[in-house]
Amino acid sequence: MGNILNFFESKSNKYFLATALLSLVFITFIFYVLLNINNEKKLISKLENSLVITKNLLEEEKRYALSLSILLAEDKELIKAYSNDERLKVFNIVNKKINTLKKLQNTLFEVQVHTKELNTYIRSWDFSIKDIPLSSFRQGLVKVKEDKKPLVSIELGKRLNIKAISPIIDNNNFIGSIEVIIGFEHIEKELKQKAYELCILLDDKYLNIATSLKNNQKLDGFTLVNQKETLHSHKFSLKELKDYGYFTNKELGFSYFTYYSLKKEKLGYFIISSKNSSKLQLNENYENIYTKQESKVFIQ
């Protein structure tokens, strides 16, 4: 016991202990800082990956819808029935092809055929609907008629979804168009398998067009497009968001990107969430840089 007391009474030993204690505190602090940096890098990497995965899935869905639209617009049996104004036959041909692809590829999509005046000719889900004027609010249809080129985009109608439109051409004349419509369910499912959750938000000012979404959940002037679960439980604000980026709260990490109309009007956000196990706080927001695209096929 005496030896221990003598050890602590020695000035050199006191200095050694103080130095050792300070070193331990310093090492612990450095370790904590490095651990936080490592956790931050992991979180940012995870959020950036979620952006890339979601955008890739979205592009895959667009290209798939576009390929179906082009195939239908070149289908001789369908075009012959359309040219002869056989609505019921067109309706049956379209639904037969939808059912075949559903069995072969387990895909869900709808088809709409339009007249050269851009009115509804047939809808695969309701034969009774026809002659509805669409040109006043369907930018994609107008563009396809003007350019005579296939187009795919996220477009507003009564609903918000992926719409791929191909012109029906006869002797170089536009005589109508065929549209393949795909929702976001497949993207949601793929993301969920990777432990991500997708929220698609639409600016409330477009609800006069997207009338089927009027009763969906609301947040900061936006409406939830793809599900009816309560958004407010996520506890985030949309007021600081730009074109893309990521942010966190104590429970979740979020990455996001903006989607636009064909006229470059901001429609809303795709927001992807995942667990924020490190509890780190991030808030990074960026603006897009646009490049002009020249192609025979337009992908927005």
| Domain end among 182, 214, 229 | 182
In a shared domain, residues 101 and 174:
yes
Q: Is the pLDDT of residue 271 over 50?
A: yes
pLDDT of residue 43: 73
In a shared domain, residues 222 and 261:
yes
**What is the spatial distance between Cα 255 and Cα 242, in angstroms, rounded to a whole number?**
12
29 domain-assigned: no
pLDDT of residue 268: 96
Could you list the beta-strand ranges (E) of 49-172. Answer: 110-115, 120-123, 151-156, 160-170
3-state percent helix, strand, coil for the chain, nearest multiple of 5 = 40, 25, 30
In a shared domain, residues 215 and 156:
no
In a shared domain, residues 114 and 150:
yes
In a shared domain, residues 114 and 173:
yes
Rounded average pLDDT over 34-39: 54
pLDDT of residue 293: 45
Owner of token pair 């007249």: 115
Percent of the chain with pLDDT over 70: 80
160 domain-assigned: yes
Tens of pLDDT, residues 250-270: 889 999 999 999 888 999 999
Q: What is the extent of the structural domain holding 246? A: 38-58+191-290
List the CATH number of the domain containing 131: 3.30.450.20
In a shared domain, residues 267 and 251:
yes
Count the domains in the chain. 2
Q: Using a cut of 0.85, tell me whether the model's pTM lies above it.
A: no
Confidence of residue 24 (pLDDT cuts 50, 70, 90): low
Tens of pLDDT, residues 127-172: 999 999 999 989 999 999 999 999 999 998 889 999 999 999 999 9
**What is the spatial distance between Cα 299 and Cα 155, in angstroms, rounded to a whole number?**
12
Written as six digits, the tokens of 76 are 């001789």
Sheet arrangement for strand 218-219? 218-219, 222-224, 197-203, 266-275, 252-260, 244-248, 283-286
In a shared domain, residues 211 and 151:
no
In a shared domain, residues 89 and 231:
no
Q: Helix 76-83 and helix 87-105: axis angle, to 10°?
A: 160
In a shared domain, residues 100 and 212:
no
Cα distance between the two ends of the chain:
81
295 domain-assigned: no
| Domain end among 162, 182, 202 | 182
14 domain-assigned: no
In a shared domain, residues 65 and 50:
no
| Domain end among 155, 182, 209 | 182
**What is the spatial distance between Cα 255 and Cα 198, in angstroms, rounded to a whole number?**
10
Tens of pLDDT, residues 64-98: 999 999 999 999 999 999 999 999 999 999 999 99
In a shared domain, residues 168 and 216:
no
